[in-house]
Homo-oligomer: A and B are copies of this chain.
């Protein structure tokens, strides 16, 4: 039962649908909030013992079928010598705006630039001791570049789009460097012990299909295809990507995450039936009473049985205000009703 997640991602048979939750480590857990009261977020990310502790909290509290590395999507920016601050969301101190700034970028090996990440992976693997698998992760090149140019999360990412639309050559140069960094960063996670990887393309849903193919998909695919040799299952997740599914079919992953906006069976058809699907309960459903949560979980499990493979998850991260009992009742419902 320990490798349910890995088998489901590979579309192999499983005794039960596995479940893990995006942002399962975080503010919905009282033990995380207690730790954050005395420790800055950036310290949690950069201190292997603490990051490992946070990574393991949801495994212990919730009994999910996988751990996912606790870190921030912007950490690999340090491989490019860019400083990231948290205020409270991630902020790039000097966002990249000019072609000269982009041309000057130079990538250092991740193991040299951010060794604490891989040490975290090693500690977590030792602690899990053959238990549930550990998922490594990175932002997809498009999404990481969106932050590097914009400086922070944004509704429309207009500075980044100005670059894409107004100077596509510079945008491609930036995406190329960031793709190299992302690949190196994920390969180093796998070497340290990550048993699956997820590539988060949080901002790809801002794009139309043509722009997505040109600036997001081709770079995500490069990362995912080159990771094929590592032997670990690779998950690609584009938030708000319902209009991109036919294109996402070319992403080269084993499994595709989808958000709650689309029926997971329709998503599978539009992806060509070639992927395991991960998702896709609306995180806001966890704010409703537990009896309703169980009902929604059962409905999704039933739909999931029609797929080549199903990893139960939310359509986006656990909302910070979610009562932990509600998260627990979801995991219990999936375990109770998820037998295949």
A140–B300 Cα distance when bound, in Å, is 30
Q: Name the B residues within 8 Å of A243 (CB-CB).
A: 242-243, 261-262
Minimum CB distance partner of A289 in chain B: B166
| A158 interface contact, C-beta 8 A | yes
- Contact check, B263 vs A161: say whether CB atoms are below 8 A apart: no
| A282 interface contact, C-beta 8 A | yes
Q: Name the B residues within 8 Å of A156 (CB-CB).
A: 283-284, 316, 319
With both chains docked as a complex, state the minimum distance between the C-beta of A271 and any C-beta of chain B, in angstroms. 14
| A207 interface contact, C-beta 8 A | yes
- Contact check, B165 vs A292: say whether CB atoms are below 8 A apart: yes
A263–B156 Cα distance when bound, in Å, is 19
- Contact check, A282 vs B242: say whether CB atoms are below 8 A apart: no
Question: Could you say which interface size class chain A belongs to?
Answer: 20 to 34
Q: Name the B residues within 8 Å of A262 (CB-CB).
A: 208, 243
Minimum CB distance partner of A242 in chain B: B243
A316–B157 Cα distance when bound, in Å, is 14
Chain A, residues 307-321, CB within 8 Å of chain B (1/0): the string is 000000000100101
Q: Name the B residues within 8 Å of A288 (CB-CB).
A: 162, 165-166
| A53 interface contact, C-beta 8 A | no
- Contact check, B166 vs A319: say whether CB atoms are below 8 A apart: no
CB under 8 Å from chain B, chain A span 265-324: 282-285, 287-289, 292, 316, 319, 321
- Contact check, A284 vs B162: say whether CB atoms are below 8 A apart: yes
